[in-house]
Chains A and B, each alone.
Chain A
């Protein structure tokens, strides 16, 4: 048994365990830390496959940036106010388990059949070596073949920043109130009308029809259309 196999076994076992930990641990902070472990092991596997660049990116982007952000967010939230994680109905849980399993099997089949059919993409080891290494190969493809998409992706980020400013700028927020919503149901017409008249221009709202919203603005997710609340009421 070669050392490579031993390392592979160790890293993938650790990856699977920490991956299960992400969904199985009750404390969200523990989940997030478990996810860190999972990502580091994935990076180790990338390095073992000879894709050092992807491994480094995995550490810098996912572990370094995304996960730290997630941890910050979790720590800013009062843990007692977090929603319970296991609120799904048994059927929903079963369905998602089945769908997840199907997707995983599909991925497995895809990988196995490609290897079995020996249909490997253009970037074989020899090809990558010829280009001078991983970083060079990725850089070349990004800035030659996919240059336009690469540039437009930066515009997408720009729009995202502008949008974050528009939506998040507090001094441009008006009065605050609480909303509940359900992703699976659209608010009925009657509910929408009760939620207030849709005046677009502030000046035009006749005083008698305008109810000043009060309280803190939050969007609360519900699973049940009956739990919709309107501005002004706390719950139904």
Chain B
């Protein structure tokens, strides 16, 4: 009896290891630090951990390889997605710092940052998974931490309701996902993505895919659609986004969604790319429904937080549309589509966390989240109103913001794969979205607040202000100088289409 043990390449997992160590250190610091230095030290350690991981990740640019028996893979997609996730994590810490500090007497800073770091660790593992088992474990780690963060404001009943719904429906989604994965495993005899791809290509030469394979693919798509909050699997989204503390909402609209998106790309593009003709069709329909539903329902919302929740459903639709543009007709088209989704993710990170950051900012000044609370924001704070306008304009997709370029790349990818109707839907959906985004802008600039709020105590939030500043700059600069980013996004897909061409397709 021989045991085949592989000595893992630790250098390859360095960024993940840094984040894991940060998570463990943060949870221990919580127990051993004196109360008064709690917040500063823990926030500092968390930020330092994410920063070090970003540096480590940047140094891995261009490297490829697998380790841990193929469970872990390092390639362009890993590097790009991990960078997006880490940047989103840093922004989340910036916007949640003042909230957490405020609650420090009641709820743990340590718990909040521990859960956040573990969630980021899970998302990073998902981005670097080379095996369905790893994808599932990574997604679960992120999801479980997110369920708890959603319930963090236990004082509010809406938080409990949102977390409860998110938890139950999330579990249901995980079960469906696992069921689909076991079908794929049963049909191909392997859990490794590259092995699945190879066995599928061999099985499909000259024959139709069998029903079990298609069923597995559909179930996996349904499972990820739950996690991504795509229509019709979005029931939990408005309540969970609404109930969670606003900084957490900003986080959960980006990091778990990025993890689910990358898991979907990994399974569908890397594992099941031979079935691309089937799943692009399903995703195109899903994207169509999601975009229209999210934008149309957002119109009737009078609460900015709920409006942003529906808008994030709509943005899921744009991302899925990008994946749906994947075609293996020639190397170019497929490559454009995935890199457009990756670019969309980074755009979405900046503009969506930014919009939620302004909601946090308003809440720190004693207001709620309804449109009425945003009335007259321009006269109270011109800078905050201006920043919110930038984020909303970017979410709407108007140049020169990053949101415009993100939609532009998706539309180009769609046109290249002859999905004209889906490209038209994106344009139409953006036009619809202009109504509810611009309404917030109009309310901020042209309405007066009904009650006098001067003299109310405010929460000091230096990190939040810094974060908003960074995101405004990011939304404007990353859009104007988008080519390095889209090139980085192309790294993986280039490799991929080269490999696909080499395999004779």
**Measuring CB to CB, which residues of chain A are less than 8 angstroms from any residue of chain B?**
106, 110, 113-114, 119, 121-122, 130-132, 136, 140, 143-149, 152-153, 155-156, 158-160, 162-163, 165-167, 172-175, 177-179, 181, 183-187, 189-190, 192-193, 195-206, 213, 217, 219, 231
Among the listed B5, B69, B121, B365, which residue makes an inter-chain contact with A155, where contact means beta carbons less than 8 Å apart?
B121
- With a 10 A CB-CB cut-off, give which of A131, A140, A153, A197 has the most chain B CB atoms: A197
B148 proximity list for chain A (CB < 8 A) = 159, 162-163, 166-167
Q: Is the CB of A166 within 8 A of B160?
A: no
B366, closest chain A residue (CB): A204
| A110–B68 CB distance below 8 A | no
CA distance A162 to B145 in the complex (A): 9
A sample of 7 inter-chain contacts (CB < 8 A) reads A149-B71, A166-B151, A172-B154, A195-B158, A202-B155, A204-B457, A206-B366
**Beta-carbon contact of A200 and B246 below 8 Å:** yes
Interface membership of B245, Cβ < 8 A: yes
Contact with A along B226-252 (1 / 0, CB 8 A): 000000000111110010011000000
- CB of A193 within 8 A of CB of B370, answer yes
Q: Give chain B's interface residue range (CB within 8 Å of chain A).
A: 35 or more
Shortest C-beta distance, A31 to chain B (Å), equals 20
Q: Which residues of chain B have C-beta atoms less than 8 A from A146's C-beta?
A: 69, 71, 133
Additional A-B contact list (7), CB under 8 Å, known A183-B235, A206-B366: A148-B72, A149-B137, A155-B20, A156-B144, A159-B115, A179-B161, A217-B157
| B154 pairs with A174, CB closer than 8 A | yes
Interface residue B447 (Cβ < 8 Å from any Cβ of A)? no
Q: Assess A217 versus B99: contact at CB under 8 Å? Given A144-B5, A184-B235.
A: no
Set of chain B residues within 8 Å of A110, measured between Cβ atoms = 183, 186, 212
Q: For the complex, what is the distance from the CA of A173 to the CA of B157, rounded to whole Å?
A: 12
The CA-CA distance from A159 to B116 in the complex, in Å, is 10
Q: Which of A113, A152, A177 has the most CB atoms of chain B within a 10 A radius of its CB?
A: A152
List residues of chain B with CB within 8 A of the CB of A196: 156-158
Q: What is the distance, in angstroms, from B276's C-beta to the closest C-beta of chain A?
A: 24
Contact A177 B157 (CB under 8 A): yes
- With beta carbons under 8 angstroms apart, the residue of B99, B161, B306 that contacts A189 is B306
Q: Is the CB of A163 within 8 A of B145?
A: yes
How far is B121's CA from A155's CA once the two chains are assembled, in angstroms? 10
CA distance A175 to B155 in the complex (A): 7
| A153 and B137 contacting across the interface, CB-CB below 8 Å | yes
With a cutoff of 8 Å between Cβ atoms, the chain A residues found around residue B489 in the complex are none
Which stretch in B77-85, B163-171, B330-338 binds the other chain?
B163-171
Task: Report the minimum CB–CB distance from B194 to chain A (whole Å).
Answer: 14
| B448 interface residue per 8 A CB criterion | no
B141:A155 contact, CB within 8 angstroms: yes
Chain B residues positioned under 8 Å from A231 (CB to CB): 157
User: Please, how many angstroms separate the alpha-carbon atoms of A82 and B141 in the complex?
Assistant: 32
- B99 touching A130 by the CB < 8 A rule? no
**Chain A residues whose CB sits within 8 angstroms of the CB of B427 once the complex forms:** none
Query: Given contacts A147-B68, A183-B235, are A202 and B147 in contact (CB under 8 A)?
Result: no
Q: Does B300 contact A (CB under 8 A)?
A: yes
Complex Cα spacing A159 to B120, Å: 12
Q: For the complex, what is the distance from the CA of A215 to the CA of B11, rounded to whole Å?
A: 55
B145 touches A159 (CB 8 A): yes
Contacting residues of chain B (104-118) with chain A, CB-CB under 8 angstroms: 106-108, 111, 114-115, 118
One of A149, A172, A190 near B107 (C-beta < 8 A): A172
> Which of A156, A173, A185, A198 is the one whose CB lies under 8 Å from B305?
A198
B44 to chain A, nearest CB (A): 21
Q: Which of B359-418 contact A (CB under 8 A)?
A: 360, 363-366, 368-370
B91 interface contact, C-beta 8 A: no
> For A145, A146, A192, which residue has the most chain B Cβ atoms within 10 angstroms?
A192
- CB-contacts of B274-310 with A (<8 A): 300-303, 305-306
Give the contacting residue for B144; candidates A143, A159, A179; CB below 8 A: A159
Whether A131 pairs with B147 at a CB distance below 8 angstroms is no
Task: Pick the 9 closest A-B CB pairs, nearest first.
Answer: A163-B148, A174-B155, A148-B68, A204-B366, A179-B157, A197-B368, A148-B71, A186-B238, A149-B133
Chain B residues near A198: list those with CB within 8 A. 156, 158, 242, 246, 305, 363, 368-369
A73 to chain B, nearest CB (A): 16
Whole-angstrom distance between the Cβ of B113 and the nearest chain A Cβ: 11
* Selected contact of B1 from candidates A130, A195, A205, CB within 8 Å: A130
B165 touches A152 (CB 8 A): no
**Smallest distance from the beta carbon of B123 to chain A beta carbons, Å?**
12
Q: Looking at the complex, which one of B169, B189, B457 makes contact with A203 (CB distance below 8 Å)? A: B457
Name the distance in Å between B15's Cβ and chain A's nearest Cβ: 15
> B428 in the interface, Cβ–Cβ < 8 Å?
no
User: B28 at interface (Cβ–Cβ under 8 A)?
Assistant: no
Does B55 touch A at the CB level, under 8 Å?
no
> B491 on the interface (CB 8 Å rule)?
no
B458 to chain A, nearest CB (A): 8
Give the distance in Å from the alpha carbon of A155 to the alpha carbon of B215 in the complex. Answer: 31
Are B360's CB and A200's CB within 8 A? yes
Chain B residues positioned under 8 Å from A189 (CB to CB): 300-303, 306
- Asked if A204 and B364 make an inter-chain contact with CB atoms under 8 angstroms apart, the answer reads yes
